[in-house]
Amino acid sequence: MPRKILIPLLAAMTLAACGGVDSSIAMSGSPGVENGTADGPARIVSISTVATEMLFAIGAGDQVVAVDSLSTFPADAPVTDLSGFEPNIEAILGFQPDLVIISYDPGDVVAGLQAAGVESLLQGASMTIAETYGQILALGEITAHAAEATTLVEDMKAEMADLAASVIQRDEPLSYYHELDDTLYTVTSATFIGEVYALAGLVNAADPADADGTSLGYPQLSAEYLLDADPDIIFLADTKCCGQTAATIADRPGWETLTAVSTGRIVELDDDVASRWGPRIVDFLRAIVDAVNSVD
């Protein structure tokens, strides 16, 4: 799916997750023993890249019979051509699932699965790191891997705390720009991505661009805006989708004057790690902290 479509879709998923404390988790029915085994649902279909990572991280991978086309991590996930953006109920039912986990419902997926007698779990985009932990724990309960989920969350919290504590203290905080795609979509501090950056003591140069929240934390900036903001560090989360590198950034008209470019402070991230609110947010924070601590 083109990135210019994906970004607004992510914003829509975020809006859908804003209804309440646990609004990022919505369940149809009660999947578990009655629909599978004493070990939880025997056949899970994940139409969510993040849920796929979470399921395998808590030891429920053996229960997963199919995942969507973009769920390429971990490597042993059973990838299919199922779409996470345009879920096809008939195709999903072809895998005879006890439980279907989705991150986005265009309007009829949950209802269609319910009509077919299949339980579903909708886990939308997390707005906070805490919601990420909540989703992991919810999957642990549903799949009968509650202990493993609890351990994973505790380990993540400990690693995140250690990484945050390792950040070099400065008199003036560094500013940053996080690039989602080469049309200059970005994130603000109101997103889970922004919260991760805040743990490293960084100030988001994009925050003023969405001060009223109309862009749901995902504003599109202009080159002029960025040249004026002049962030200390640029993080590229569009290396895979859009082929962006430190070299392509430096070649943009006028960008050679940016502090981040002239000082070589451009960090090339793995798009997936930097965009998914799953277990690998620890790796994301580690990359950020390493970049921050390397600044003289």
Per the CB < 8 A criterion, the answer to whether 83 and 101 are in contact is: no
The answer to the question of residue 162 being in a domain is: no
* Secondary structure E strands in 96-158: 99-102, 119-123
Which of these, 228, 131, 227, 241, lies nearest to 182 by C-alpha position? 241
Which of these, 192, 196, 194, lies nearest to 206 by C-alpha position? 194
Joined together, the tokens standing for residue 14 give 């975020």
CATH of the domain at 269: 3.40.50.1980
Last residue of a domain, one of 157, 180, 198: 157
Domain that holds residue 39: 3-157
The answer to the question of residue 120 being in a domain is: yes
| Contacts of residue 284, Cβ cutoff 8 Å, sequence gap at least 6 | 196, 269, 273, 274
Which of these, 109, 132, 128, lies nearest to 54 by C-alpha position? 132
Per the CB < 8 A criterion, the answer to whether 79 and 69 are in contact is: yes
Q: Give the Cβ contact number of residue 268 at 10 Å.
A: 17
Question: What pLDDT is attached to residue 3?
Answer: 52
Last residue of a domain, one of 90, 123, 157: 157
Question: What pLDDT is attached to residue 29?
Answer: 52
The answer to the question of residue 153 being in a domain is: yes
Question: What pLDDT is attached to residue 84?
Answer: 87
Per the CB < 8 A criterion, the answer to whether 244 and 182 are in contact is: yes
- Whether 9 and 153 map to the same domain: the answer is yes
Q: What is the tally of structural domains in the chain?
A: 2
Last residue of a domain, one of 109, 129, 157: 157
* Secondary structure E strands in the chain: 25-28, 44-47, 64-67, 99-102, 119-123, 175-179, 203-204, 233-236, 266-268
Run means of pLDDT, 10 residues per run, the chain, 296 residues: 49 43 46 49 96 98 97 96 92 97 91 96 93 97 97 98 97 97 96 97 98 95 97 97 96 96 97 94 98 95
- Whether 55 and 185 map to the same domain: the answer is no
Question: What pLDDT is attached to residue 106?
Answer: 86
The answer to the question of residue 53 being in a domain is: yes
Joined together, the tokens standing for residue 55 give 């399921």
Reported as half-sphere exposure (CB side, CA atoms, 13 A), residue 108 has a value of 5
- Whether 101 and 198 map to the same domain: the answer is no
The answer to the question of residue 210 being in a domain is: yes
- Whether 186 and 141 map to the same domain: the answer is no
- Whether 226 and 130 map to the same domain: the answer is no
